Structure 1
Amino acid sequence: MINSSYNVKSIFSIKDLENLSGIKAHTIRIWEKRYNILEPMRSDTNIRNYDLKSLQKLLNVVLLNDYGYKISRIAEHSSEKIEILVREIISEKNTKNHALNAFKMAMINFDQALFFNTYNNLLAEKSFRDVFYEVVVPLMEEIGLLWQAGTISPAQEHFISFLIKQKLLLNTEKLQILEPTRTDKVFVLYLPENEIHELALMYLNYEILLNGYKTIYLGESVPIESLKDMKKYFDTIVYVSYLTVEPTKEAINGYVQEFKTEIIDENSEVRFLGRMVEFIDNKVKSDQIQVFNSIADFVEDL
């Protein structure tokens, strides 16, 4: 139940529904017209808008459809019956899609209780790493796209990110008190100047620690000049950075080149991840400058 005193986004465009559900707007319109799956509100200029109940119903319909229910069959049921079918499915099968939807609804509604209940239910069945790897990492990737598309606000992104950070910090601390089992190199994790999206970097820190390495976590907005100091303390360093919005696509190759000139030597290398890595030119890459297209690829390479 949403407290009416909260200023929560409660009206969604069909594009918002597309972004949140992963179902194309064209398909949503077909489901709506042919099966009356949703009942949109229409503006004076006949533009479709949808409320929170419509969004929740669509997410439930998509989940049932993913598990083999035909749309024509789903359309025969009331919203209440659809919710019952969803609960039956998630008690019997993989809860990943349901959890993703629940986390998205928690984000949209600023609903801490829904976030913690969903998280704790997952943790009752899976390890912390499995929860993050299977559910939260895909959620983090979606959050970036939803923010970029304007479907969620910066406030909603910060709200869900903070809750996820809490869980990461608690579990990372458990690993930090252990002695490293692999001492051939040290990982230094940082974000470039003006880059503040550190959630993915925090998860990489957890994964590296889990693999037995020592990590030095420097966090957001670190100038290249400051990274030089690390060489005074460690012989073999792997720098790791996650580039979400900075450097920009116009500046990124110059940044990588500067990193190569100022930091890289025979005892150091760097691994870049994030949305901006697609703009890194092959000419500036080398054996000591690696680019990973996903967190999964990075973890597999550890």
Structure 2
Amino acid sequence: MIKSKFSIKDLENLSGIKAHTIRIWEKRYGLLTPDRTDTNIRTYDLEALQKILNISYLRNAGIKISAIAELSSEDIEIQVRNFAERNNKNDHAIQELKLAMVNFDQQMFQRIYQSSLDEFGFSGVFYNLFVPFLEELGYLWQSKTINLAHEHFISHLIKQKVLINLEKLQYQKPHNQEQVYILFLPENEMHDLGLLFLNYELLKKGCNTIYLGASMMLESLPFFKNKEAKPTFITYITVQPTEKQLPSFLKQFDKKVSNGDDVELWVLGHLAQKIKDKDLKPNQLVFRGISDVIGKIPDLVIKA
């Protein structure tokens, strides 16, 4: 079911404007006119959500709230479009993605995606639009502003775009067949968007990759050590293993996969940043993001 009523906390979480500030603006400027429940609790409709997202965008662009308050809803939308054309389109596109998600609107998602793709190319869309949006998505889900259906809906649409672009590259012959990158997610880890995009970036740069996907058991990985190409294993940790389980995961990889050989493990993802230096073996590296991984591979660095 499409979410059509929002609390003031929902508006805060989606727009980044504090609830007490929204209340002040309602009283001082009449910017929003909420409905009230029988217990006098504010509720807002989709139109109010869109308006507060637009106001947030203009505020971030440096427009004073007193000036915004003098504009009609239609004029606010015009100002947002004008600023987006001249300045940071990404911020506006992220706000629109939120609306597409809340409305389960596939056509709106496609319009936003295509507009960004035409300007930035797919890598630009992922880094500049999808990555910051997905970072906000996690918070919106944790704060219960959206539910699991919203997260699955928008994540599936983004994943579709990654797969479409990935297919264009995955059958090309790699430039270097002496090195292979084995991409996998740990057991019980299912969040594969980041790893899929990393596979896309590696293939685009001519790397030899093998993508194994979600929930791989470590016992299956030593197989790749006995091939002609030297393997580097890359994993992306979002949920599993948990922070407490990370030292054990690294120790198990060293025991079951490396087993005394000089085999590297590269680790990315939100939980990867929780790894302590003392728990890392010399052949285990933590990266802050995908661009750092690309920079680690000398023959992939694009020269100006």
Q: Same fold (TM over 0.5)?
A: yes
Paired with 1:63 and 1:234, the residues of 2 have a C-alpha distance of: 53
Cα 1:297–1:49 shift into 2, 3 Å? farther
1:237 aligns with 2:234: no
Aligned to 1:46, the other structure's residue is in SS state coil
Q: Which amino acid aligns with 1:276?
A: L
Aligned to 2:210, the other structure's residue is in SS state strand
Write the mapping of 1:6-21 to structure 2, written as runs, cut at 5 A: 7-21=1-15
Paired with 2:284 and 2:20, the residues of 1 have a C-alpha distance of: 42
Aligned to 2:111, the other structure's residue is in SS state helix
1:301 aligns with 2:296: yes
Paired with 1:247 and 1:234, the residues of 2 have a C-alpha distance of: 31
Structure 1 residue ranges (4+ consecutive) displaced by more than 4 angstroms after TM superposition:
none
Candidates 270, 280, 284, aligned match of 1:285: 280
Deviation at 1:258, TM superposition (A): 0.9
Structure 2 unmatched runs, 5+: 298-304
1:84-113 Cα offsets, whole Å, 9 max, x none, are 111222223331011111111111111000
Q: Which residue of 2 aligns with 1:165?
A: 159
Deviation at 1:250, TM superposition (A): 2.2
Candidates 168, 176, 200, aligned match of 1:174: 168
Deviation at 1:208, TM superposition (A): 1.4
Candidates 130, 136, 148, aligned match of 1:154: 148
Candidates 87, 91, 94, aligned match of 1:97: 91
Deviation at 1:282, TM superposition (A): 1.9
Aligned to 1:270, the other structure's residue is in SS state strand
Paired with 2:274 and 2:241, the residues of 1 have a C-alpha distance of: 10
Q: Which residue of 2 aligns with 1:3?
A: none
Deviation at 1:184, TM superposition (A): 4.5
Q: Which residue of 1 aligns with 2:301?
A: none
Candidates 105, 116, 130, aligned match of 1:111: 105
Which of 268-277 and 232-241 deviates more?
A: 232-241
Could you tell me whether the CA contact under 8 Å between 2:177 and 2:229 is conserved in 1?
no
Q: Which residue of 1 aligns with 2:265?
A: 270
Aligned to 2:3, the other structure's residue is in SS state coil
Deviation at 1:295, TM superposition (A): 3.2
Candidates 198, 201, 204, aligned match of 2:192: 198
Which of 272-281 and 207-216 deviates more?
A: 272-281
Which of 148-157 and 197-206 deviates more?
A: 148-157
Q: Which residue of 2 aligns with 1:4?
A: none
Could you tell me whether the CA contact under 8 Å between 1:193 and 1:223 is conserved in 2?
yes
Cα 1:90–1:215 shift into 2, 3 Å? same
Paired with 1:234 and 1:100, the residues of 2 have a C-alpha distance of: 44
Could you tell me whether the CA contact under 8 Å between 1:140 and 1:200 is conserved in 2?
no
TM-score normalised by the chain length of structure 2: 0.90
Provide the alpha-carbon RMSD of the alignment: 1.8
Deviation at 1:19, TM superposition (A): 2.1
Could you tell me whether the CA contact under 8 Å between 2:243 and 2:274 is conserved in 1?
yes
1:55 aligns with 2:77: no
Aligned to 1:220, the other structure's residue is in SS state strand
TM-score normalised by the chain length of structure 1: 0.91
Percent same amino acid at aligned positions?
Answer: 49
Deviation at 1:234, TM superposition (A): 4.8
The number of equivalent residue pairs is 296
Which of 45-54 and 127-136 deviates more?
A: 45-54
Which of 92-101 and 68-77 deviates more?
A: 92-101
Aligned to 1:263, the other structure's residue is in SS state helix
Q: Which residue of 1 aligns with 2:255?
A: 261
1:250 aligns with 2:268: no
Deviation at 1:22, TM superposition (A): 2.4
Paired with 1:25 and 1:184, the residues of 2 have a C-alpha distance of: 56
Could you tell me whether the CA contact under 8 Å between 1:235 and 1:267 is conserved in 2?
no
1:210-257 Cα offsets, whole Å, 9 max, x none, are 222111111111111111222233542221111111111222221111
Could you tell me whether the CA contact under 8 Å between 1:237 and 1:267 is conserved in 2?
no
Structure 1 unmatched runs, 5+: 1-6
